[in-house]
Amino acid sequence: MKRLRKRLALFLKYGTLASTLGLITATLIQIYARFYMENAPSWTEEAARFFFIYAMAFGAGLAMKDNYYVQFDVLFNRFTKKTRLWINRIVLLLTLFLFLLLALYGFHFVIQGLPEHSPSLGVPMSIAFSSMVVMGLSVSYFAGLQLLKTFKKPNN
Amino acid sequence: MIWALLLVFVICLLLRVPIAFALGLSCLGYLFWKGIPLIVVPMKMYSGIDVFVLLSIPGFILAGNLMNHGGLTAKIIAFCNHLMGHIRGGLALANIGASMLFAGISGTAVSDTASIGSVMIPAMKKEGYGTGFSCAITAASSTVGPIIPPSVPMIIAATLSGLSVGRLFLAGAIPGFLLGFGLMGITYYISVKRKYPKHPKSSLGQIARGFLDTFWSLLMTFIILFGIIGGVFTPTEASIVAVIYALIIGMFVYRKLSFKNILVIVLDSMKTSASLMVLVGFANLFGWILITEQLPQLISTEIMAFSHNKYVVLLLINVLLIFVGTFMETIAALLVLFPILLKVALAVEVDPIHFAVIALLNLIIGLTTPPLGICLFVSSSIGKVSIGTVSREGAPFLAVSLIVLILVTLFPQLSLYLPGIFMD
């Protein structure tokens, strides 16, 4: 389990870094082409968008792992420790449910995108749509882990 | 049904569900109830994120983080202190000046409170300023950031309304400086009254050295702004140019960036951006439901039934937005409310650019409005003082912010003058 968690975190980390590098490179080619080439390629904007969506999909899981999502905790802090623990569990369960549904219906979305192709790059849109499955699975995985942790180490 | 959706959203917020997920869960409840196929969840999320202008957000966040890693916050504060330290309450004035300069780099109020506050609040306390006052001025001054360009919330507003990012950036400049100088005025008045300390005057050499230390980072703001306004770059291209520029400056001028550092900063920036984009995605779904339920028309009809007077309508919108801004993060509130209220504003012939500035100003004022303003919480936790003390000390600053809001609402030229000059 520990090894799987490490490998998934590494996969998301390198996925985020590679997609970011792709986004930067595609945008730089776009700038270069506009200034120095007679016919600027049309694929750069599309490629940058695809890389961006993947960077965000990979990053969403890491953001869940490291608690980057903004919360409103004024009322929460007034509850007792035990109540806070149970609220935390319910919230994580709901998060798990929400993102599992995103992954599941994201898969339907991917299938729907199989016949479609992007206008400039000509790649199947299902590749871009798969980012929603990645986002759903990665966030739900880390939500699930955090939920398990609340049972294993309730004092943390 | 729409009220049940909003109720679930509020309950989720109170139970500390992250704002993005609260939007998603309330939408999910609505879709289940109405029997709408759940495939709309990934579809709307994807279409919400797949917008070219949004690509600039991770770029700006990354460029800001790369610059900040070179100790930029301390350098900006030192420069402002050289400039204003000899005036009574100089360090407090430097706090506001630093926020105005830092604005172009951080782009969000809460990060500004945290980064400037962590340096300034202990320094002000050490010099004999009241802790409550130090926290209050840090929170108040950080609200200048999202108004002065470049600003992440402005990019979001442009995405939601189809307005030009360049025009919105320019529109925020005068109101932002007005707010900054207004805060400086009241700070000086309080400092003289309480006899807060002043430093010996800095020499021209010290000021020049301070300027050189911050010059490269301030130049980045100008490259971004004039690149977009001059039509040289799109906002997305400008953000990537800013990243490359920040990398070069960080590695070869400030010499603080190593390969390992860069990887950590990139990952941190992408996690921040991804948490924003999940919010954008769910907000797109939420917005779609609100439109399906004709809530914008409902609110518009109700407000117009109350009054057709442009200023009464704007007053109502101001009150609503400040209230929402007190407990909701700026970008989340903007995503949910801006498209709805823009329709109302357009119905009473308010210019959309002018309205975007008003809306943003309201939401950031909410960040320092007691009892729930998020910036008050951040600064009070840094200064280890009660939120009540910070709120009391912050009252004069809040009053100045409200006066600026009233001026910006009543005089559209404050927002429209610069876009008119540079972009018409």
Residue of B18, B38, B273 lying closest to A70 (CB–CB): B18
User: Where does B108-267 show beta strands of DSSP type E?
Assistant: none
CB B28 within 8 A of CB B41: yes
Give chain B's end-to-end CA distance (angstroms, integer).
44
Phi first, then psi: what are they for A117, rounded to 5°?
Answer: -125, 145
- The pLDDT, as a whole number, for residue A2 is 79
Q: Which of A71, A129, A147 to mutate to test the interface with B (most CBs of B within 10 A)?
A: A71
Separation between Cα atoms, residue B142 and residue B109, nearest integer Å = 5
Which residues of A fall within a CB distance of 8 Å from B54? Answer: 52
Residue in B closest to A73 by C-alpha: B16
Single out the residue of B24, B68, B104, B79 nearest to residue B288, CA to CA. B24
Out of A28, A63, A132, closest to residue B42 by CB: A132
- Measured between CA atoms, how close is A1 to chain B, in angstroms? 24
Question: If you average pLDDT over each of A67-76, A126-135, B68-77, B244-253, which comes out highest?
Answer: A126-135
Predicted TM-score (pTM) of this structure: 0.85
* Residues in A touching B12 (Cβ below 8 Å): 94
Count of beta carbons in the 10 Å neighbourhood of residue B302: 11
Q: What is the pLDDT of residue B106?
A: 56
Among B262, B271, B330, B369, most A C-beta atoms within 10 A, so best to mutate, is B271
pLDDT in tens, chain B (424 residues): 778 888 999 899 888 899 899 999 999 999 999 999 999 999 999 999 998 888 988 998 898 888 878 777 778 888 888 989 899 999 899 889 888 877 655 556 777 787 778 888 988 888 889 999 999 999 999 889 889 888 888 988 998 888 999 999 999 999 999 999 999 999 999 999 999 988 888 899 999 998 888 888 778 878 888 888 888 888 899 999 999 998 998 898 888 888 889 999 999 999 989 998 999 899 899 988 988 888 878 888 888 888 889 999 999 999 889 888 877 778 878 888 898 899 899 989 999 999 999 999 999 998 888 876 778 888 888 888 888 899 999 999 999 999 999 999 999 999 999 999 987 7
Closest by CA to B46, choosing from A84, A118, A35, A92, is: A118
B207 CA to chain A: closest CA distance, Å? 36
The pLDDT value recorded for residue B149 is 84
Cβ contact A49–B50 (<8 Å): yes
- Which pLDDT does position B13 carry in this prediction? 86
pLDDT at B108: 67
Contacts of B278 in chain A (CB under 8 A): 56, 60, 63, 69, 135, 139
Percent of all residues in chain A with a pLDDT value above 70, rounded to a whole number: 98
Q: Could you give the dihedral angle defined by the CA atoms of residues A61, A57, B273 and B43, in that order, rounded to the nearest 10 degrees?
A: -120
Coil, strand, or helix at residue A124?
strand
DSSP H or E segment with residue B238: helix B235-248
State whether B236 and A27 contact (CB < 8 Å). yes
- Nearest residue of A to residue B332 by CA position? A70
Average pLDDT over residues A71-94: 87
Cβ separation B21–A95 shorter than 8 A: yes
The answer to whether B244 and B266 have CB atoms below 8 angstroms apart is no
The pLDDT value recorded for residue A24 is 97
| Token reading at B19 | 């704002």
